[in-house]
Amino acid sequence: MATIRGLVEQAGVGDDIQRREIEAGEVSGPCDLLIAGSDRANGDGWEFDHVWAAGLEVNPVSSFANLERPTTLLDVTVIGLPDASAAKAAAHAAQTAQCPQEEFRLDIGMATARWGARTVTVESTSARLTTATVSRVDPEAAGGMRFLPGDARLIFTHGRLLISIEALTFWPRKLTTGAEVTAMAQEKATSLATAVVKTLPPPNER
């Protein structure tokens, strides 16, 4: 975890990095995103027995509605499973989980977003990508919504580790579109995931 924290620090997203311990049953499902909330995903279950789990939060905020400047939040979770086969099984469950097809209201209100889910490659590693892209801002809320959010979460395995990296970017609404800000978040998540894959020892050396 110390190695991953060092990579998070090098990512240049922010200096406010907080570690959080994760209890059994607290790991969010493959379709859960920061901007959506776990009660909105209603996707397939994602259950497994893990040996340990820890997380890092970068630029945590008490409320998404009170941001004063463009910001990217990172949420990194690393889960140690009993062996590589258990990790692969958990990753397969993540990659095949079905997110709701209908659009959903953002946690902060004021807008509607749509889910996105597909498999991507990070270096030579297969990863599940889940995104949330704003599709419509409420006309009555347009004047009060200064920043448009975009959310992207990658889930992949490395040996017996199951790793989740989520980036939630807020960018001035007048300067971007929903698709563009989601692409920004995806770039942040992918950049960190690439660094993790390149830096951690090869799975067969763990």
Q: Taking each helix axis from N to C terminus, what angle separates 178-199 and 2-10, rounded to the nearest 10 degrees? A: 140
Low-confidence ranges of the chain (pLDDT < 50): 205-206
**pLDDT for residue 40:** 54
Which residue in the block uniquely carries the two structure tokens 């959310």?
A: 151
pLDDT digits (tens, 9 = 90+) for 78-132: 999 999 899 889 888 888 888 888 888 887 778 899 999 999 999 989 999 999 9
pLDDT at 142 (0 to 100): 67
Q: pTM for this one?
A: 0.91
Q: What is the per-residue pLDDT for 118? A: 93
Cα distances (Å, whole numbers) of residue 91 to 13, 66, 118, 187, 206: 26, 35, 13, 21, 18
pLDDT score for 55: 92
Q: What is the DSSP letter of 176?
A: -
Residue whose structure tokens are 């959506």: 36
d(CA 51, CA 54): 11
Q: How far apart are CA 17 and CA 96, in angstroms?
A: 31
Is 134:152 a contact under the CB 8 Å cutoff?
Answer: no
